[in-house]
Amino acid sequence: MLALTRKINETIVIGNDIELTILEIKGDQVKVGIKAPKSVPIYRKEIYLQIKEANKEAAQTSATDDMIKKLFE
């Protein structure tokens, strides 16, 4: 992991088209602005993990449904 120190209004560039800017610091919270192409999905990690788990469950259900359909064909 790369750790960088930034102040308010300072930016980090990732690749050619993603920018992270520190907007505000209040106590132990940091507000970050993200500028990226619309094609790049951006999620808080806890939401990303929920989506990943839901997709995994949906894939398992779909695979089970497919197996049941084959049994009754």
- Give the confidence band of 11 by pLDDT, cuts at 50, 70, 90: very high
Average model confidence (pLDDT) across the chain:
90
Q: Could you give the angle at the alpha carbon of 29 between the alpha carbons of 25 and 32, nearest 5°?
A: 65
What share of the chain has pLDDT > 90, as a percent? Answer: 74
Domain regions of the chain by residue span: 1-40, 43-73
Strands (E), the chain: 11-14, 18-26, 29-35
The average pLDDT across 45-63 equals 86
